[in-house]
Amino acid sequence: MTTSPAAALDLGHRRQWTVVGLVIAFFAMPVVLGLFSATHIPWTIQNVVLRELTLFAAAAVLAFIIRRKELLGWDSVGLQRPAMGRTALWVVLTIVGVVLAAAIGFGLIKLFKLATGSSDSAKYDLLPTWVLLVTLVRAGFIEEFFYRGYAIERLQSLTGNRFLAAAIPLFFFAIFHYRQGWAGIIIALLSGAVLTGVYLLRRNLWVTIMAHFLGDFIPNIVLPLFMSK
């Protein structure tokens, strides 16, 4: 069966938008966060919230591309309506996997005596809880939307290679944690590998979004609240 010139042109046009979407998915976060850090913008509530809103705007642009330019549904990035019970079960299993991956990562960090933490850690402690919560929601949703749901699906569609579709986003996800040093890269690589594996298995982005969010929310907000009491 041959493809008509009009259909081929339309497919080519949609693939061009997919390339634009991949550029956004891979580079929007490191560019915004990197510029915010490199230009030494004052660490105020207003500026941090503006940074987060800029990233949410990039996610909105990507959503526009999916729906209006690629003409695809939310299921094309794993955001179909989930089965709540099964999704909750997989969230728990994924969190367990992420914790184990992090434990292995910390073991490697200790073995090779790598520095932990980042220059931004103390700054986040200065933020009100609601601002920190915004950053955690952004990290949980947008990082999974960009590096798991969109990047994996579109690279597999373009290349037909499942391994490359999983490995390339995982590489970018890990390396863009460079602000946290080698320790941050290792933790991101191992925990990201768990999230990538779960997404490839279930194709349900809500699982990795919730696991990612809770993996940040519990140690950064819940535990400090209990410790303060």
C-alpha closest to that of 79 among 92, 63, 57, 97 = 63
Q: Is the pLDDT of residue 9 over 70?
A: no
Report pLDDT digits (tens) over 150-206: 999 999 999 999 999 999 999 999 999 988 888 999 999 999 999 999 999 999 999
Q: Is the pLDDT of residue 118 over 70?
A: no
Query: Out of 1-15, 29-43, 135-149, 190-204, which region has the weakest mean confidence (pLDDT)?
Result: 1-15
pLDDT(123) > 90: no
Please give the Cα distance from 175 to 172 (Å, whole number). Answer: 5
* Residue 62 token pair: 């990507």
The percentage of residues in the chain with a pLDDT greater than 90, rounded to a whole number, is 80
**Residues 115, 183 contacting (CB under 8 angstroms):** yes
Q: What is the pTM of this model?
A: 0.93
Q: Domain segments of the chain: what residues?
A: 5-73+83-228
Mean pLDDT confidence for 87-104 = 97
* Residue-level pLDDT at 165: 98
Residue 2: pLDDT band (50, 70, 90) is low
Tell me what the pLDDT averaged over the chain comes to.
Answer: 93
> Over the stretch 34-65, which tens digit does the pLDDT of each residue have?
999 889 899 999 999 999 999 999 999 999 99
Helix (H, G, I), strand (E, B) or coil at 73: coil
